[in-house]
Amino acid sequence: MTGDIRGADDIIRLIQSDAWRMEALAFVSALELPDCWIGAGFVRNAVWDALHGRETLTELDDIDVLYFDPGDIGRDREQEFEAVLIDTAPGFPWSVRNQARMHLRNGDAPYLSTVDAMRHWLETATGVAVRLNGAGGLDLVAAHGIDDLVDLVLRPTPQGFRRRDQYEARLRKKNWPAIWPRLTILDRPPV
């Protein structure tokens, strides 16, 4: 699927049309983790590739599996889930993180959910995630909405604006404008 992507339903159809992404979602769903999603580049890259008319999709460095379990914030449990995914689907670049512990790394107050944790990410267009739902379809969440994602806008979240050095270092490392030249880079968080 390429072309016009304007709303959440368009994003869901895009992900559903990608057999590789749907397979990844099925593997993660089988773990039955609480408040579990796949987000970040998994969704963002698919949308930006489609909006750029790419037939060959941009390779992912990792598949960000996000879940929320405040009862066990140890890194060991994440590694166990990651190992299960690697054993089950070794061809996928899994990265599993319990968002209930990520506030410690970021120096924030404890997060309340996976979506709340995503609100603290550095760019608006990255704070989007999908998961399989009980009806066999997909649910989509976007911590800062989908406008920047579908409008090809790269900008800091309020947290990214406060952590400016980290945001700018991430932009240099990722070099997204070279991959998606139609991106518009804004230097301010959304209002």
Domain of residue 128: give its range: 8-185
Domain assignment present for 41: yes
Write down the mean pLDDT value for the chain.
Answer: 95
Is 162 domain-assigned?
yes
pLDDT band at residue 3 under the 50/70/90 scheme: low
pTM: 0.95
Segments in 52-110 forming alpha helices (H): 75-88, 102-106
Q: Which residues lie across from 67 on neighbouring strands?
A: 98
Tokens for 79? Answer: 């590694």
Does 190 map to a domain? no
Q: Is residue 115 part of a domain?
A: yes
Classify residue 1: in a domain, yes or no. no
pLDDT 10s digits, 36-72: 999 999 999 999 999 999 989 999 999 999 999 999 9
Q: Per the domain annotation, does 143 fall within a domain?
A: yes
Count structural domains, the chain: 1
Residues 6+ apart with CB under 8 A from 67: 33, 34, 35, 36, 37, 81, 96, 97, 98, 99, 114
How many angstroms separate the CA atoms of 69 and 31, rounded? 13
SS3 category, 64: strand
CATH of the domain at 25: 3.30.460.10
Domain assignment of residue 169, yes or no: yes
- Asked if the structure places residue 2 within a domain, the reply is no
